[in-house]
Amino acid sequence: MGASTLLTGCGDANTLRAEFPLLAAAPELHYLDSAATSQIHRSALDAVLHHETTSRANVARGTYRLAEAADLAFENARRTTARFLNATSADEIVFTSGATASLNLVAHAFGNTLQAGDRVLISVAEHHSNFVPWQMLRDRIGIELALIPVRADGQLDLARLPELMGSRCRLLALTHCSNVTGARTDVAAVVAAARQAGARVLLDGAQAVQHGPQDVRALGVDFYAFSGHKCFGPGGIGVLWGRHELLAAMPPFLGGGGMIGGVTPALSTWAPPPQRFEAGTPPIAQAIGLAAALEWMLGLPWPQIHAREDSLCRQLIEGLRAISDLRLLGPDAAVSRAPIISFEMPGLHPHDICQVLDTHGLALRGGHHCAQPLLAALGVESCSRASIALYNDAADIEALLSALDAARRELT
Ligand code: PMP
125-182 per-position pLDDT tens digit: 999 999 999 999 999 999 999 999 999 999 999 999 999 999 999 999 999 999 999 9
With a cut of 50, say whether residue 59 has pLDDT above it: yes
3-class SS string, 397-412: HHHHHHHHHHHHHHHC
The fold for domain 47-298 equals Aspartate Aminotransferase; domain 2 (3.40.640)
Pocket test for ligand 1, best of 40, 370, 374, 375 (most atoms within 8 A of CB): 370
User: What's the pLDDT score for residue 11?
Assistant: 72
| CA 321 / ligand 1 centre spacing (Å) | 28
Mean pLDDT of all residues in 183-212: 97
Strand partners, 145: 120
Has residue 246 got a pLDDT over 70?
Answer: yes
What's the chain's Rg over C-alpha atoms?
22
Would you state the pLDDT for residue 336? Answer: 85
What is the mean predicted confidence (pLDDT) over 31-56? 98
Mean pLDDT in residue range 301-319? 97
148 lines ligand 1 (CB under 6 A): no
For residue 299, is pLDDT > 70?
A: yes
* Dihedral (Cα; 354, 358, 359, 360), 10-degree rounding: 100
Phi, psi for 8 (deg, rounded to 5): -90, 5
Angstrom distance (rounded) from CA 128 to CA 398: 32
Query: In sequence order, what are the beta bridge partners of 363?
Result: 31
Q: Which amino acid is at 20?
A: F
Residues of the chain with CATH 3.40.640.10: 47-298
User: What is the pTM (predicted TM-score) of this model?
Assistant: 0.96
Tell me which H or E stretch contains 121.
strand 119-123
The average confidence (pLDDT) of the chain is 95
pLDDT of residue 78: 98
Confidence (pLDDT) at 8 = 47
pLDDT of residue 140: 97
Domain limits, CATH 3.90.1150.10, in the chain: 3-40+301-411
For residues 9 and 297, the answer to whether their CB atoms sit within 8 Å is: no
pLDDT at 10 over 60: no
Question: Where does 3-40+301-411 sit in CATH, by number?
Answer: 3.90.1150.10
With a 6 Å cutoff on the Cβ, whether 129 touches ligand 1 is yes
Which atom of ligand 1 is nearest the CA belonging to 178?
3
Average pLDDT over residues 74-99: 98
pLDDT at 4 over 80: no
Name the amino acid, one letter, at 246.
Answer: L
* H-run or E-run covering 145: strand 144-148
Backbone angles phi, psi at 317, to 5 degrees: -60, -45
Closest atom of ligand 1 to 370 CA is 8
Q: Residues 1-21: what's their mean pLDDT? A: 69
| 4 in Cβ contact with 338 (< 8 Å) | no
Is 370 part of the annotated catalytic residue set? Answer: yes
CA of 238 to the centre of ligand 1 (A): 10
Compute the distance from residue 265 Cα to the ligand 1 centre, in Å. Answer: 39
| Mean pLDDT of the region 207-226 | 98
pLDDT exceeds cutoff 60 at 75: yes
Nearest-angstrom CA–CA distance, 95 and 241? 9
Q: Which residues contact 211 (CB under 8 A, 6 or more apart)?
A: 177, 305, 306, 309, 338, 339
The answer, yes or no, to whether any atom of ligand 1 lies below 6 A from the CB of 100, is yes
